[in-house]
Amino acid sequence: MVDSVHRELILALAKEVLPGNDHQPAAIDVDISGEPLDRVLSSRPDLEGRLLDILERFAADESLTAAGFVATLDAQELRVLMTVFCGAYFLVREVRRAIAYTGQQALTLDRGGFGGEELAIKQMNLPKRYRKPPERVG
C-alpha cells in the first residue's frame, strides 16, 4: 500500500524524472503522487508491488540523490517507474491542456478507396441476380 512516505519519495524522484519545461508543468507542480497515482495503480495493480520495491530501495540508500538513484535502476525497473510516473502525469488535466490533448476521438474513414467500401456499396445497390445451379449428374 502506498503511504505518505512513499508519496514523498515519488515526488523526489518525479522532480528528477519529469522536471517540466516552458510548455508543460513539472510533475511536482501537479502532484502526481496523489489522485493521479491512485488512478494508475487502480488500473495497473500489478505495478504497485514493483514500485514499492523500488521506493524502498531508494529510501534505504540515503547517500544517493534522486538522479543518482535513477541511474542505478535496470531497464525493467526504469520501465516500471516511467510507466507509473508518466501514466499519472498525463492523467492530470493541466498537462493534457498544456500539450493540447483533447482525448481520443472517433474518426470516420472517407470512402476514398480504403478497403473498397465504395465497391461493396455499389454491388449491394445493384439488382439481385441469381445463377441457375448446375444440374446433378449421376
**Rounded distance, CA 88 to CA 77, Å?**
17
Q: Nearest Cα to 2, choosing from 32, 41, 43, 36?
A: 41
pLDDT digits (tens, 9 = 90+) for 76-127: 999 999 999 999 999 999 999 999 998 888 776 665 656 667 777 788 888 8
Predicted pLDDT of residue 90: 94
Q: Residue ranges of the domains in the chain?
A: 4-98
pLDDT digits (tens, 9 = 90+) for 46-71: 999 999 999 999 999 888 899 999 99
132: its cell numbers: 441457375
Predicted pLDDT of residue 12: 93
Torsion of CA 68, 73, 84, 5, to 10 degrees: -60
